């Protein structure tokens, strides 16, 4: 992170370390205030601490999250949070979601162009729409020029604003018995069997 070419690259470096449960945000913050106090680049690490996430599943998801936060200032963007309907049935896990507005975001790279993957994506998108969620997709081609994604994102916020909160059919509140895997600490406490059963989809997404 200290030697990364820019802040975004530093965030990606941490998020992928957290994906592998090598370090948590709290552990990094403590390390910065002790062992790294006088090291070159430590100010960058301190600066990006509020931007870090422990639940990104691929290197491009932090890029999606940072672009989203830059465009919609003040938005809370939660990464890979499971979405449920009002009966507690699991519907899907978008790459990012703003739980205050019901806007979700996805990153579509080359993997998503494969027929079976794209078919799954289309089914999920339809399911999200039925629940009242509005989405914006960042394509691989948007990374160099993010204006197109920014426009799609703002349009999603406009559409989401037309749905009264009382009419939302979705929730990110987990039902009883659901095992949390959204933090490094939670994943470290899983048994080997639980890791194999609950985290396999993260590896496929990466």
Domain coordinates in residue numbering, the chain: 1-52, 53-206
Looking at every residue in the chain, the average pLDDT score rounds to 92
In whole angstroms, give the CA distance from residue 29 to residue 35: 10
In whole angstroms, give the CA distance from residue 182 to residue 53: 9
| CATH, range 53-206 | 3.40.960
Contact predicate 29/16, CB 8 Å: no
Q: Which pLDDT score, from 0 to 100, does residue 72 have?
A: 97
- Tell whether pTM > 0.75: yes
Q: Which pLDDT score, from 0 to 100, does residue 37 have?
A: 65
Report how far apart the first and last C-alpha atoms of the chain are (Å, whole number). Answer: 20
Q: Which pLDDT score, from 0 to 100, does residue 109 have?
A: 75
pLDDT at 114 over 60: no
Question: What letter does residue 35 receive in the DSSP assignment?
Answer: T
- Give the number of residues written for the chain: 206
Q: Give the SS3 label for residue 84.
A: strand
Q: What is the pLDDT of residues 75-87, one digit of tens each?
A: 999 999 999 999 9
Q: Which pLDDT score, from 0 to 100, does residue 33 have?
A: 84
Average pLDDT over residues 66-70: 97
């Amino acid at each position: 992170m200290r030697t990364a070419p820019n802040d975004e690259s530093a965030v990606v470096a941490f998020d992928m370390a957290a994906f592998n449960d090598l370090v948590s945000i709290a552990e990094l913050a403590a390390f910065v205030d002790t062992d790294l106090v006088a090291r070159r680049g430590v100010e960058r690490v301190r600066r990006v601490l509020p931007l870090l996430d422990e639940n990104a599943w691929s290197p491009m998801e932090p890029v999606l999250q940072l672009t989203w936060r830059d465009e919609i200032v003040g938005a809370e963007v939660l990464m890979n949070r499971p979405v449920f309907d009002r009966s507690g049935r699991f519907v899907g896990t978008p790459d990012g979601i703003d739980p205050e507005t019901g806007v979700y975001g996805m990153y579509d790279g080359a993997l998503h162009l494969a027929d079976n993957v794209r078919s799954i994506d289309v089914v999920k998108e339809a399911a999200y729409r039925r629940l009242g969620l509005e989405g914006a997709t960042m394509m691989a081609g948007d990374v160099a020029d993010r204006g197109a994604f920014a426009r799609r994102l703002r349009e999603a916020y406009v559409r989401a604003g037309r749905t009264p909160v009382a009419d939302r059919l979705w929730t990110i509140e987990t039902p009883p018995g659901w095992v949390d895997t959204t933090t490094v600490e939670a994943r470290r406490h899983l048994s080997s069997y639980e890791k194999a059963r609950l985290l396999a989809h993260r590896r496929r997404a990466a």
